[in-house]
Structure 1
């Protein structure tokens, strides 16, 4: 009972501080929250929470504010992610379903997430390593130059120009297209090397040099060196919380410009059923130690295609932010995972 009461006090402190950005005192807690105890008991509980490192006093005679440890306990003890209203869910669905292609899905998703949370939103394009082949197209540019277009089952399009050893006519291009599609359509990109390993040996002699060249380009571009992409929106939202970052806003903005940093934040999150929250010093990038990162994976069934999330101050509405991240991830996964 004592532990639960102190948790209630901590929860009240976090909620008040998120709303006001002012240190929270025992009198205010006793007046605004149904804690069932006197202000003196609340003060004792606050002293214990401070001794245990969950809250701190920013200066003498002030109230208390949560520490990273306090936010972590608050998040860990949430009874569940706050559900969005039916109207909010309908708005998300209708906004995202209006997308016309993969780029539009990602653009809409990252803008929507920034608007819902009022934080910086990050959405990773579907990872090539998790995608499958929907179709391969080969277009003649010149008799010795071909355009190879690979379309994944998540709508991602990759294009490469291929120089072939000798001129090819239209029937040969059509044959090459048929052979590659027969071997790769419906295959995971991770399985592509095995699927095409024997194709040159099984093809007619005149086709082998061109097929070898095309297979080499496919493997280099889409398996050995997958290009991961990130979309970012809502950077201006940080200015509304500039007071939370003291002198660290500029390094934070610089860090957010680095794609490798964003991929580290979002791309490693693959669990579709869990919203991951990294608070303050739990973030490995120095410039992000004053932030919290809320992220999850999106995909089809149990298969993750990518990650998305938000970056904002530690003083954020965690239940609401986690709900928005989870909801947008669900709709993005449904859209991109549909056959």
Structure 2
């Protein structure tokens, strides 16, 4: 197990240094780690992904061939999905769309379906429905749509509830739901979306029956999650934050603004491998900015990390625990050349 740190590249913040020492991380001027195969992003000032303040507007008119969904008809989206073939594009008119009142009522897409929201289109669970989009269909796209008010149980998610593969979530707002706003499957891409004020996680990248491969989380604003304050309800659960990754094989986490979550910002927890975490702004989270735990082979570079851990760090100290409570915490992780990845080390530099 190897952890490669570039001498002089890691800021001398005490919490980061202590965390790396606790993990057995050492760096020497003569032991320069090889560059990973993933290309480095352009250097320069990092811009925050201010997605929530002004979301990108969806199409004002239905695209050619799209099925129009009427917000005045309860359950129209689920019904038209059920009665349309795979690969259909649905355009949701402006307004508040609702599902049937049964708590298990949800949209079950077919392979290749696309769901496009007009400006002002909202799918609202009214704290009645548990899930918005579920099922096993591959290659589903959801864009320019607000999804809110769903009541998913603890550890479950509202969008892509069943962790289907190949989904694209872009220019979406997923907010004020219980549980996780979004689950994840293989080849999932989450881009330019606002994931805020969800009860447990913004994203819970977990697949109950196996590994998630090739996940992309890019250009999103992830903020205010864990409104349910689950760490207080279940002390030590480790079950909250902006994004939680479980058994993800290959992830690019790039250009996100992860801030003011009640808990950890980004948490890779158990059997993750081949992560590229770059050009993110991680700030103001109650807990650590980043935890990489019981996982392998990662590059963490060119991120801005500031003002994290003020809440959990202070609580830890006030409780009499003098173990460093780090902002970037590498826990029981390291490089492993026997596991295929773009690097065989944990490299942290130019942050």
**TM-score between the two structures when normalised by the length of structure 1:** 0.23
Normalized per residue, the structure richer in strand is 2
**TM-score between the two structures when normalised by the length of structure 2:** 0.22
| Greater gyration radius | 1
The one of the two structures with greater contact order (alpha-carbon pairs below 8 A, sep at least 6) is 1
